Amino acid sequence: ASADPTAYFDAVIAADGKIEPRDEMPEAYRKGLIRQIAQHAHSEIIGMQPEGNWISRAPSLKRKAILLAKVQDEAGHGLYLYAAAETLGIDRAELYRLLLAGKQKYSSIFNYPTLTWADVGAVGWLVDGAAIVNQVPLCRCSYGPYARAMIRICKEESFHQRQGYEILYTLATGTPEQKAMAQDAVDRWWYPSLAMFGPPDTDSTHSAQSMAWKIKRFSNDDLRQKFVDMTVQQAGVLGLVLPDPGLSWNEERGHWDYTQPDYDELFTVIKGDGPCNRERMAHRQAAWDDGAWVREAAMAYAEKKKVTT
């Protein structure tokens, strides 16, 4: 260790390098990363529920196979992220415990219901689209294991976004009823997707520190704007309307003006009072309880191996 314990850390951050698990790092950096990576991992795992809801009702074998693959990808993302969090010295079982005890969060977006097949399209197009905008800059985050995990995740999210877009395109160019179903899904998912980026910069508790440490590369509002600009154009191609009468091109700013999501609603959902919070947590708890015998059997088998070899 050097005389100044943060000298190495400060130099790596200033040079845009990567901090690795065995490097010295400020305790707040370690804790902040565990908070964000765990929340991200939990989101991937809880996010399997709203889409899993449609696996048995997908409209064709092909659609079902694609959706199954997508939901499995989300499980994989959760596992890379739990592994990345573990490099910071916290046990995966402890992260599950903190989630189930309500001490760690997951993204607000997964507390909304998927009411129709078109919702699977809207989740892919808007929710995964928002996730990509948020996550591509995380590939350049200063913590090595998190940055590297994000590379593969972003590639897979791009495929997810395309499959959602293709579902909506098929519906939007189908019968009038199908087009209405697609529009209804977009009407319900637009503002919750905007809220995924978090509170406005003025109310964001962690942004300033996270940006100084190069965990976050852009602020919540900058990413939200980027998402709006990208999505308005794609909605035009789909022939669907984003449910915001306030959307208008601002020549001076070079961006679309838009109506902010309801941040009181975001905080209500984050606090546990969204439409599906209880259902999502109950399902997660049941999956944990139902898996107890598998964990016990694996431990017993490992013990037996240790004795005989």
Q: CB 209 → ligand ACO: shortest distance, Å?
A: 8
Residue 133 touching ligand ACO (CB under 6 A):
no
Q: CB 72 → ligand ACO: shortest distance, Å?
A: 14
Residue 119 touching ligand ACO (CB under 6 A):
no
Judged by CB under 6 A, the number of residues near ligand ACO is 25
- The site map against ligand ACO for 216-255 (x = CB under 6 A) is ----x-----------------------------------
Residue 158 touching ligand ACO (CB under 6 A):
no
Residue 205 touching ligand ACO (CB under 6 A):
yes
C-alpha to C-alpha distance for 51 and 110, rounded to whole angstroms: 10
Helix (H) or strand (E) run with residue 105 in it: none
Q: CB 30 → ligand ACO: shortest distance, Å?
A: 15
Phi-psi map region of 198: left, alpha, beta (phi>0 left; psi -120 to 50 alpha): left
Q: CB 220 → ligand ACO: shortest distance, Å?
A: 5
- Which of residues 107 and 142 has its CB atom nearest to ligand ACO in the complex? 107
- Which of residues 25 and 154 has its CB atom nearest to ligand ACO in the complex? 154
Rounded to the nearest angstrom, the gap between the alpha carbon of residue 251 and the centroid of all alpha carbons in its chain is 32
Q: Taking CB under 6 A as the criterion, which residues in 55-94 touch ligand ACO?
A: none
Number of H helices, E strands in the chain: 14, 2
HSE-CB of 18 using CA atoms within 13 angstroms: 13
Residue 200 touching ligand ACO (CB under 6 A):
no
Q: CB 85 → ligand ACO: shortest distance, Å?
A: 12
C-alpha to C-alpha distance for 126 and 130, rounded to whole angstroms: 6
Residue 107 touching ligand ACO (CB under 6 A):
yes
Residue 142 touching ligand ACO (CB under 6 A):
no
Q: CB 127 → ligand ACO: shortest distance, Å?
A: 6
From the list 91, 128, 121, 110, the residue with the least C-alpha distance to 45 is 110
C-alpha to C-alpha distance for 64 and 59, rounded to whole angstroms: 7
Q: Which long-range contacts (CB under 8 A, 24 or more apart) does 51-55 make?
A: 51/114, 51/120, 51/123, 53/114, 54/114, 54/117, 54/119, 54/120
Task: Work out which of 30, 64, 92, 206 binds ligand ACO, going by CB under 6 A.
Answer: 206
Residue 210 touching ligand ACO (CB under 6 A):
yes
- Which of residues 7 and 151 has its CB atom nearest to ligand ACO in the complex? 151
C-alpha to C-alpha distance for 80 and 164, rounded to whole angstroms: 23
Residue 33 touching ligand ACO (CB under 6 A):
no
Partners of 19 in the β-ladder: 143
Structure-token pair, residue 44 = 């991937």
Count Cβ neighbours within 10 Å for each residue of 171-208 and write b for 16 or more, e otherwise. bbeeeeebbebbbbbbebbbbbbbbbbbbeeeebeebe
- Which of residues 179 and 261 has its CB atom nearest to ligand ACO in the complex? 261
Residues that bind ligand ACO (CB under 6 A): 35-36, 39-40, 43-44, 47, 105, 107-108, 131, 134-135, 195-199, 204-207, 210, 220, 270
